[in-house]
Structure 1
Amino acid sequence: MEEREDILAPYAGRISYGALLKLREKRGREHIWIDPWDELRGLLSFLPRIQAKSVCLDSDIVSIGDRSEVSQDVIDIIEKCICALIPWRKGPYSLFGRVIDSEWRSDLKWNRIEPFLDDPHEKKVADIGGNNGYFLFRMANYSPKLMVNFDPNGRFYYQFELLHRFSGVDNMQHEVLGVEDVHLFENFFDIVLFMGVIYHCRDPLGALRQVYTCLKPGGQMIFESLALPGRKPVSLTPPGRYGKMRNA
């Protein structure tokens, strides 16, 4: 896949940019440039990097492109990529008319948090544990200064890449990093989303400290976690497992 402009490069003096470049290379070798994704990378290399003419980011289904905009050959490759990237957790999306019916209805969560967001216009925004970037695609409608989607999972990286290459949202990128790495962005982000992640962390309090480190003074964090009903005091690390989720 071809190189794109790094939207974080202009901020090299404000973040730990040298350390970030080294960590990108390491995580790329571990999660991105690995044999299981060779076939998918080959498919992506045949796709044009064009901006779709019809893009709708302010509806429940993030819609990128109309069927009439690309050839049948491109549609066939997109279909193969979508299938190769199953499961799709966050969504829903429509890519050149091909609806991606995600496992989660992320639009419902977005509609709950949107009224409480600070105005993202010209702000620097992060989604930590952002999966394939659904919330930032929705956020793009407000014209933030930049948006960074953090998730160390290779599948989510390639899902993001498939959608992003056609979206025309040039001020957004995916970093294959986790919450343990966001200290590289000390006092940098105006708005941080940290939702549905903390109960997967082995050190939840440490994770919160990391998030606090990357948030600018006076910034906003949107935080979501599981809650246990009842009046009994419970800790952040109760014994056992909840919902068959790892570390939860």
Structure 2
Amino acid sequence: MINDTIIHAERQLYLTLLALAQTQPSAYDWLSQLPEWLNSIKDKANYAHAPAYQAAVARLPDITADTVELNSDRLTINAVLSDSERKQTYALLKQLMPWRKGPFQIGSDTHEPIIIDTEWRSDWKWQRVIPHLGTLKGRRVLDVGGGSGYHGWRMAGAGADTVIIVDPSCLFYHQFMAIRHFIGAADDYRTHYIPVPLEALPEHSQLFDTVFSMGVLYHRQSPFEHLQQLKGQLVKGGELVLETLVVDGDANTVLVPHDRYAQMNNVYFLPSVDALIGWLEKAGFSDVRCVDVEVTSTNEQRKTDWMTYHSLQDFLDPTDTTKTLEGHPAPKRATLIAKK
């Protein structure tokens, strides 16, 4: 039995953008590019694993959820699974490894649920961010670099009217679709995923009340360009939530790793909090404030049965965990909130 989850989800995305375009004409620019964006992510010439990921999602069994909890730390689809449904679901979700952002639960607490214990305890980050936000109720939200969609679902759970997640990963797109399969219409199709990077979006769309960029800035070769692109997606007076790696120091302190940082070769700029505040103000944001600074622990980012590769513990100096293997300061993340 093959399901049509991906086709249906993409149709709902079209309808959402079409409805938005009635009052926000810039959404037509998105609609004109949407077919190319959605076809590209499924093209085997672009992504060798795309057909396998699509097949895994299409073979997920149809299960009727009793309730869906989008506003719980472990995003939970409460349903009674038969033994065969559980085995089939577990095997197919395992084909979509590694799972990096979550956690998720499929099944009832009383009937041996499937718990996707992801590399990141993304709920911890959400707990640090949510107390400092303006309300998300009734707002249009863009989640940049949203991974599997965990935070996007939480944004819908917090009452957002429309959530659009953008991330160019073929795997993460299909992980989102796997979770969408079980959530069904429980979110009234308010949560969507476009498999492109921020820079592929039409500039200056000004479609969103709140824009999140969490764990993206340090991967950008031009941080100011990233900040301008984020600003271009916000309505006037809209709110930016920016979470990124930082280092200690004054307003002029920025670490530029010569080679790798915590074994990542795509890390470019790690500013101090004061430097980052200055960047945001220079980019034209106002009311900039740092609401959280946290050293990333090996309890928050770690290897699990659902992400079996090296994780944070393997990237730190084994004799001094305040440093990375390369001798840089260990990962510390700050969350800043600013207004356009």
Scaled by the length of structure 1, what TM-score is found? 0.89
Unaligned runs of 5+ in 1: none
The answer as to 2:219 corresponding to 1:200 is yes
Bigger Rg, structure 1 or 2 = 2
Residue 220 of structure 1: SS of its match in structure 2? strand
Distance 1:52 1:185 in 2: 39
In the alignment, what sits opposite 1:233? 252
Is the contact between residue 47 and residue 170 of structure 2 (CA under 8 Å) also seen in structure 1? no
Is the contact between residue 31 and residue 153 of structure 1 (CA under 8 Å) also seen in structure 2? no
Letter of the 1:108 partner, please give it: W
Distance 1:87 1:54 in 2: 26
Letter of the 1:163 partner, please give it: I
Aligned length: 246
Q: CA deviation at 1:141?
A: 1.9
Scaled by the length of structure 2, what TM-score is found? 0.66
In the alignment, what sits opposite 1:59? 72
In the alignment, what sits opposite 1:171? 190
Unaligned runs of 5+ in 2: 108-112, 268-340
Moved more, 4-13 or 193-202: 4-13
Letter of the 1:91 partner, please give it: G
The answer as to 2:235 corresponding to 1:223 is no
Q: CA deviation at 1:203?
A: 1.7
Distance 1:51 1:246 in 2: 43
User: Which one has a larger percent helix, Structure 1 or Structure 2?
Assistant: 1
Is the contact between residue 41 and residue 50 of structure 2 (CA under 8 Å) also seen in structure 1? no
In the alignment, what sits opposite 2:51? 38
Q: CA deviation at 1:247?
A: 1.7
Is the contact between residue 152 and residue 163 of structure 2 (CA under 8 Å) also seen in structure 1? yes
Q: C-alpha offsets along residues 21-72 of structure 1, whole Å, 9 cap, x if unaligned?
A: 2441453245798442323322322335555222122221111123x1x433
In the alignment, what sits opposite 2:292? none
Correspondences of 1:23-34 after superposition (within 5 Å): 23-25=36-38, 27-30=40-43, 34=47
Distance 2:94 2:39 in 1: 27
In the alignment, what sits opposite 1:147? 163
Letter of the 1:79 partner, please give it: Y
Correspondences of 1:46-195 after superposition (within 5 Å): 46-48=59-61, 52-66=65-79, 68=80, 70-96=81-107, 97-167=113-183, 168-169=186-187, 170-184=189-203, 186-195=205-214
Distance 2:44 2:235 in 1: 29
Distance 1:148 1:236 in 2: 32
Bigger relative CO (Cα 8 Å, ≥ 6 apart): 1
The answer as to 2:266 corresponding to 1:247 is yes
Residue 82 of structure 1: SS of its match in structure 2? helix
Residue 65 of structure 2: SS of its match in structure 1? coil
Is the contact between residue 31 and residue 152 of structure 1 (CA under 8 Å) also seen in structure 2? no
Moved more, 187-196 or 176-185: 176-185
Distance 1:209 1:106 in 2: 26
Q: CA deviation at 1:185?
A: 6.4
Distance 1:196 1:18 in 2: 27
User: Which one has a larger percent strand, Structure 1 or Structure 2?
Assistant: 2
Distance 1:205 1:21 in 2: 26
The answer as to 2:31 corresponding to 1:11 is no
C-alpha RMSD of matched pairs (Å)? 2.3
Distance 2:44 2:236 in 1: 33
C-alpha change, 1:51 and 1:190, in structure 2 (3 Å) is farther
Distance 1:32 1:177 in 2: 16
C-alpha change, 1:116 and 1:232, in structure 2 (3 Å) is closer
Q: CA deviation at 1:237?
A: 4.5
Q: CA deviation at 1:137?
A: 1.3
Is the contact between residue 144 and residue 213 of structure 2 (CA under 8 Å) also seen in structure 1? yes
Q: CA deviation at 1:10?
A: 1.5
Is the contact between residue 71 and residue 154 of structure 2 (CA under 8 Å) also seen in structure 1? yes
C-alpha change, 1:83 and 1:207, in structure 2 (3 Å) is same
Distance 1:145 1:34 in 2: 32
Q: CA deviation at 1:177?
A: 1.0
Q: C-alpha offsets along residues 138-174 of structure 1, whole Å, 9 cap, x if unaligned?
A: 1222221110111100111111111112212211111
